[in-house]
Amino acid sequence: MKSIFKIKRNMAILFAILAAILYGFSSPLSKILLLNVSPILMASLLYFGAGIGMLFVNFILSYFKKEHLKESKMTKNDFPYVIGMVLLDILAPILLMLGLTMTNASNVSLLNNFEIVATSMIAMFFFKETIGKRMGWAILFIVIAGVVLSFEDFTQFHFSIGSLLVICASICWGLENNLTRMLSLKNPLQIVVVKGLGSGFGSFVIALFLRQFTTEWVYLLYALLLGFVAYGMSLFFYIRAQRDLGATRTSTFYAAAPFVGVLLSVIILRESISFQFIFALIIMLFGTYLAVSEKHNHLHIHEMLLHDHLHAHDDLHHNHDHESSVIGEHRHVHEHEVIEHDHPHTPDSHHKHSHH
């Protein structure tokens, strides 16, 4: 059981880190494109690129490989989460792109880690996801680093408007992460396509209304390509990781993204690094270390649960019977009986128990 859990957890961590690395390209490359593309149009193109790109990936997989079709599809019961997810994905990138025009890409990349704090707080207070002491300290250090970066001048306590916009974007994405978490057992490709096309269209309508458009197709193409890689592929791996790690833990591993963004900002944009930034970076690194090194293991009870998702009978959670033998992953509506056991776990869809 422990070895199966470890394999699944390690794969989920790998997905989360891949998601982080791909998203890390977003801030520095978007900063370059914003010289020729308006912030709102840029937000639209990034999500359109994600939706269109993953729609093409879905078509390719459907043609050559059928396994991903076993995944559960979204239903009408998921609509409230889908609508909230799309609306927040319209607002968040617009705030981020506006913030990018007012501050440097290194600051924006590092401030993106505030998304961990927002995700964790919302997960704990509204979605009852457990946060231990170690995770609590990690969140505190990340908050301190975010505050340090949000001041332009400590002697006069002058806030950076650009940094505050990025923090607002992170809060939006924190709530959106939790809504997406409610859909994590569904087909991740389908989720990314809906997120991409829905949010991209919403931002595009706003850009047209404000007459923020460009006919320079080269920049439009670059923005769409960046959206496919930094948003589409990143979101796919992120959602897949959430399935086994939960919203909070996935976000903490996703914390690698800002450091990738900072490195690219220094290399590509030749941005200078201030003492204030280095101080914040050290605090952020320590907070991130605390977050990713957290372990959770105790005796817990599973209440009866009825749901439908892709699963296999190689763990202690899916021990129901079938009329005929089933090998490998499959999906159907199934019931979990009440069970009490002790093993390492994360707050995934099967571990939403309370803690005392």
Stretch among 197-206, 217-226, 259-268, 329-338 having the lowest mean pLDDT: 329-338
Question: Mean pLDDT highest for which of 83-92, 156-165, 241-250?
Answer: 83-92
Q: Which residue has the higher pLDDT, 304 or 192?
A: 192
Helix axes 234-253, 133-150, angle to 10 degrees: 100
pLDDT of the residue at 171: 94
Please state, in angstroms and rounded to a whole number, the distance separating the CA atoms of residues 61 and 57: 6
pLDDT, mean over the chain: 79
pLDDT digits (tens, 9 = 90+) for 209-237: 998 888 789 999 999 999 999 999 998 89
Taking residue 222's Cβ as centre, other Cβ atoms within 10 Å add up to 18
Q: What is the mean pLDDT of residues 335-350?
A: 60
> pTM here?
0.74
pLDDT of the residue at 346: 55
Please state, in angstroms and rounded to a whole number, the distance separating the CA atoms of residues 257 and 272: 19
Strands 330-336 and 305-311: antiparallel
DSSP codes, 250-305: HHHHTTHHHHHHHHHHHHHS-----HHHHHHHHHHHHHHHHHHT---EEEEEEPPE
pLDDT of the residue at 341: 59
Stretch among 15-29, 273-287, 302-316 having the lowest mean pLDDT: 302-316
Q: What is the mean pLDDT of residues 156-180?
A: 84
pLDDT of the residue at 163: 84
Residue 74, SS3 per DSSP = coil
Q: Which residue has the higher pLDDT, 283 or 258?
A: 283
Taking residue 76's Cβ as centre, other Cβ atoms within 10 Å add up to 7
| β-bridge partners, 302 | 339
Q: Is the pLDDT of residue 87 over 90?
A: yes
Q: What is the mean pLDDT of residues 131-150?
A: 77
pLDDT digits (tens, 9 = 90+) for 11-47: 888 888 899 889 889 989 999 999 999 999 999 999 9
